[in-house]
Structure 1
Amino acid sequence: MNSLSNSEGSSSHATLTSHGACVCGSPLLQKFHERMMADISRRQFLGGAAALIAMFSALHAPTVLSNKPKRSDGPVLLTNLTLFDGSGGPLRKNVSVRVENGRIEALLNDSSGTEGAEVIDCGGRILMPGIIDAHWHTTLAAISQIEAMTADPGYVHLVAAREAERTLLRGVTSVRDVGGPSFALKRAIDKGIIPGPRIFPAGAMISQTSGHGDFRMRHEIPRTPTSPLSPAEQQGVAAIADGEAEVLRRTREQLMLGASQIKLMAGGGVASMFDPLDSTQFTEREIRAAVEAADDWGTYVMAHVYTPRGIQRALRAGVRSIEHGQLADEETVRMIAGEGAWWSLQPFLQDEDSNVYPDAERRAAQTKVAEGTIRAYEYAQRFDAKTAWGTDILFNPQSTGNQLRHLAKLTRFYDPLTALSMATGINGELLALSGPRNPYPGKLGVIEPGAHADLLVVDGNPDRNLDFLVDIDQDLRMVMKGGRFYKDEL
């Protein structure tokens, strides 16, 4: 798990609110989880979820309750547009898109399809699919250092709900949540209680003892048969498992809760206290236990891992998506491509969004990952690996608004339409890997008959650049999810 950061401020602040390297094992993150659940049992937390949602609705009534998404009594015809359909192909003109019952009904020429439809003139702008972030932490993205250290747990979940609305209004209509207690938030969004993107939840990150999801402090070691679960485990952020039997149990628990895919921590990170970047985590047998359990439910396992050894072990065990993997060598990338696995990359480039570390060891690890990022995108193209785009924003409310800037950065490696297709049609294919555990059956990320009507209208020239993603407030004119308008400034 990595985080996005503002480079300003103290080094301790940057350690938590930063981007470009993993912060899952940072001391501040551990303290946050201790605070979150020190005096709250898991049963109390689950029982209070409905109250939190109700409180959010009451506090946020001016935008959520009074400005509910527009509904049309019948079909909608979007016309006078330039179409980017999510495939990466050239832009198309002289086409209209008819939407009905939350789906795209048809693509028509501009002179047809008006019968019985509300006609919306897009003013010659770009119509494109909603954006998909394949590596997002719905509950943990927008809580700051000060809030994490001082706020009560209810506030944290209210912040997550508020950020879900902002995420949708940025044009991100679907996210693959790669770790955290997002099940209740997903349910509230799906029921229309609050606005937000479609969430493909992984539930708790499954980690070995001493692994990248083990947030315990030294005084909590050793664990005995009678030791209570750690705060992070009670919260549903992580689940510690050692041995095939425990991995199998924790995997099945997340599936029971509604996980659409499973997340394993198969290697170390940059900001970790206890697990170095080059560490390899879980044995092949342990990983295979999770893979087999997920496969029995028709879905797959994704693995946080950076190094060639860790990636190859995960692939041999049947992992279908490598998260990060910036240190992969040529042999490993050939294996990713040969196995038909997904490579979920993030542009960690040690730039203005990167974290600032006070110690030389972590700075060196961060530099290593940044250099690996450049090689990774080159390898991905050379060996034709299935490559997804994500951001991995964590604990940084200042940076969540820049979510799509990290998509614009891909033009360093790809032409603009190819980069944009990665965050739409290609990421939609990755979401579909959940098979029968897909909470939203149907195509996402594309504009074609039968696909979900998750659509954006933007001012821009995506065949030339992705500059419109930098100032999304100004250039994003319409957001539709499931055929409903959440933003309409046409």
Structure 2
Amino acid sequence: MAFPSIASAQGTPPLETEVLFRNVRVFDGVGPSLSGPTNVLVRGNHIASIGPQVRSTSGAKVIEGRGRTLMPGLIDVHVHLTFGALTQQQMASPDLTPEKAGKAAAANATGTLMRGFTSVRDVGGPIFELKQAIDSGRVNGPRIWPSGPTISQTAGHGDYRTPDEGPRRWTGKASRAELMGAGYIADGRDEVLAATREALRFGASQIKVMAGGGTSSDYDPVDVTQYTLDEMKAAVDAAEDWGTYVTVHAYTSRAVRRAIEAGVKCIEHGQLLDEDTLRLMAERGIWLSSQNLVESTDAMSPQRREKRKPVIEGQARLWPMAKRLGVKLAWGTDFLFEPELNAQQNAYILRLKPWFTSAEILKMVTHDNAELLALSGLRSPYQGKLGVVQEGALADLLLINGNPLANVDLVGNPANFSVIMKDGRVFKETT
């Protein structure tokens, strides 16, 4: 699990004793309006107090808000920081080393933070070493809720083997993808239990299981259902014994219904779901973590572009129907093997505009996404409240030039963020 390898260190900003944001208007992550002019005092890595009369002690760092908007840091709950930093050709190249992959992943993490995303959920891939590097201050990046290696059946969405790699069961050789921590191929209840426990052993905050076909994999059509109920339940049982949950990659109603029966708490994607299945999810309190994907990009293979068509067609129907039925909704980007897309991370938030108000969008990418992160319980790597500007919450904050409730396009361009604070540290400050 030593892939990627993080070799170089970056300078981490100091943690001030106190930081006072003076004369700001607050979007608290929940309400549909801004506060009146007020002050927000950060002490250490927490929000200590909020109010127009709040003052700092002598020697505190003061940031003049001048009426600008202070809001929670953005949260993306579906990223692949390593896979999103490399193309498929780079991943398959024999010249790829842990050092090269680590450098690309670290740069991706730093860029993510500097776009205002202070927390992410990495739902598949080599991530544990990068997370440790960020938490120790060797790399600047967001808080990471890691899944680590995905868990897939043979010929499933997470079967990343090349054509010349045989099955481990008969050859005795793990695939290159398994050795780099990309995913585990596990068949049968016993292997799924072992794979889940291995991921938890390395620090997974939630478990990612492949429950259906995908658009970026070679062997499985999008419509197929993956894992038997007993196999799926094995992952859920092992995760729940550790106080956390399973989220699954799935598009179709058949795959999602089996996952729900097994006890899964979150569905990734879901663009092909029908109304009855979404209603079931709403009744059971199952999260839907979905995206707004584009039809194609220059780097996309013809096969992937073709497999993607029904997913693209389904998402315009999914979002408004899920909203109407009261499904718990979360948002993420899911950039995979197309590094050029990373710079568009903020702009992808704006793809929610056809179906949600500005206030609903901002709440989803802050408070609501934080609620999904909290589902990891004691396995959450960062204990404390996120996604809100409230006394006692962790100090992950953005100071924005303008009012994003009146013009949500402001969050689509990180140039509009004059201050980016994560865990009480100021990573960006401009006048």
Class of the TM-score when normalised by the shorter of the 2 chains: over 0.9
Quick one: which amino acid aligns to residue 479 of structure 1?
A: I
Is residue 79–residue 122 contact of structure 1 (8 Å, CA) maintained in 2?
A: yes
Tell me the equivalent position of 1:96.
39
Change (3 A) 1:298 1:222: closer
* Worse-superposed segment, 219-228 or 405-414: 219-228
Deviations 1:239-286 (A, max 9, x none): 011111110110011111110000000000123321000000001111
Q: Could you say what secondary structure the match of 1:402 adopts?
A: helix
Aligned with residue 399 of structure 1, among 341, 345, 351: 341
- TM-score using structure 1 length: 0.84
TM-score by length of structure 2 reads 0.95
Residue in 2 that maps onto 1:424: 366
State the Cα deviation string for residues 317-346 of structure 1 (Å, max 9, x = none): 000000001000001101111110100010
Match of 2:186 in 1: 241
- Indicate yes or no: 2:81 matched with 1:138: yes
Q: 1:374 to 1:354 in 2, by over 3 A?
A: farther
Q: Report what 1:342 is aligned to.
A: 287
Secondary structure class of the residue paired with 1:436 = helix
Q: How does 1:237-386 map to 2 (within 5 A)?
A: 237-350=182-295, 356-359=300-303, 363-386=305-328
**Cα gap change, 1:146 to 1:223, in 2 (>3 Å):** closer
1:201 counterpart (135, 141, 146):
146
Shift of 1:364: 4.6
Cα distance per residue 1:323-378 (max 9 Å; x no partner) = 00100000110111111010001012427x6865435xx54542211121011101
Q: Which amino acid aligns with 2:44?
A: N
In the alignment, what sits opposite 2:8? 56
Q: Who is 2:24 aligned against?
A: 81
Amino acid at match of 2:347: R
2:130 maps to which residue? Answer: 185
Q: 1:328 is aligned with what amino acid?
A: L
d(CA) in 1 for partners of 2:345, 2:411: 9
**1:166 and 1:418, CA in 2 relative to 1: closer, same or farther beyond 3 A?**
same
Report deviation, 1:146. Answer: 5.6
387-396 vs 216-225, which moves further: 216-225
Stretch of structure 1 that moved more, 409-418 or 311-320 = 409-418
* Aligned-partner residue type, residue 183 of structure 1: F
Between the aligned partners of 1:274 and 1:467, the Cα distance in structure 2 is 39
Preserved CA contact (<8 Å) 1:411 1:465: no
**Quick one: structure 1 residues 222 and 205, their matched pair in 2 at CA, closer, same or farther if it must change by over 3 Å?**
closer
What's the offset of the Cα at 1:214?
Answer: 0.5
Change (3 A) 1:145 1:277: closer
Q: Deviations over 1:80-126 (max 9, x none)?
A: 112111114211122211100200111112x3323444332112211
- Counterpart-to-counterpart distance in 2, 1:242 and 1:123: 59
- The Cα of 1:210 is off from its aligned counterpart by 0.6
- Which whole-Å CA distance do the structure 1 matches of 2:162 and 2:63 have between them? 57
- Displacement of 1:217: 2.9
Q: 1:462 aligns with which of 398, 404, 420?
A: 404
CA distance in 1 between counterparts of 2:183 and 2:235 reads 15
Distance, in Å, in 2 between the alignment partners of 1:278 and 1:382 is 25
Q: Distance in 1 between matches of 2:137 and 2:182?
A: 25
Amino acid at match of 2:72: P
Is contact 1:88-1:420 (8 Å) kept? no
Q: Shift of the alpha carbon at 1:151?
A: 3.6
Deviations 1:186-231 (A, max 9, x none): 1111111111100100010000001000011333345444521101
Is contact 2:74–2:118 with CA below 8 Å preserved after alignment?
A: yes
CA 1:82/1:462 → structure 2, altered by over 3 Å: closer, same or farther?
same
- Give the corresponding residue for 2:115: 170
The aligned residue for residue 5 of structure 1 is none
Task: Determine if the alignment matches structure 1 residue 217 to structure 2 residue 162.
Answer: yes
Structure 1 alignment gaps of length 5 or more: 1-41, 58-63
Which consecutive unaligned segments of at least 5 residues does structure 2 have?
none
Structure 2 equivalent of residue 30 of structure 1:
none
* Equivalent residues, number: 428
Change (3 A) 1:363 1:165: closer
Shift of the 223–259 alpha-carbon distance from structure 1 to 2, 3 Å rule, reads closer
Shift of residue 145, structure 1, vs aligned partner? 5.0
In the alignment, residue 26 of structure 2 is paired with which amino acid?
L
CA distance in structure 2 between the aligned counterparts of 1:330 and 1:489, rounded to whole angstroms: 47
Q: Which runs of 4+ in 1 moved over 6 A?
A: none
Question: Does structure 1 retain, via aligned residues, the 8 Å contact 2:41–2:54?
Answer: no
Q: Does structure 1 retain, via aligned residues, the 8 Å contact 2:279–2:325? A: yes
1:26 maps to what in 2? none
Match of 2:393 in 1: 451
Shift of the alpha carbon at 1:139?
Answer: 1.4
In 1, the alpha carbon distance for the partners of 2:273 and 2:156 equals 20
Shift of 1:398: 1.4
1:44-101 residue CA offsets vs partner (Å, 9 max, x unmatched): x47xx7xx43x322xxxxxx23xx31432x3221121121111142111222111002
Q: How much is the aligned-residue C-alpha RMSD, in angstroms?
A: 1.8
Q: Deviations over 1:359-411 (max 9, x none)?
A: 5xx54542211121011101111111000000011122211111111111111
1:191/1:153 Cα in 2 relative to 1: closer, same or farther (>3 Å)? closer
Question: Is the 1:247–1:286 Cα contact (8 Å) retained in structure 2?
Answer: yes
Q: Check whether the contact 2:299–2:338 (CA below 8 A) recurs between aligned residues.
A: no
- Mapped to 2, the partners of 1:451 and 1:211 lie a distance apart of 40
Q: Name the CA distance, whole Å, in 2 between partners of 1:349 and 1:128.
A: 28
SS of the equivalent of 1:106 reads strand
3-state DSSP of counterpart to 1:478: strand
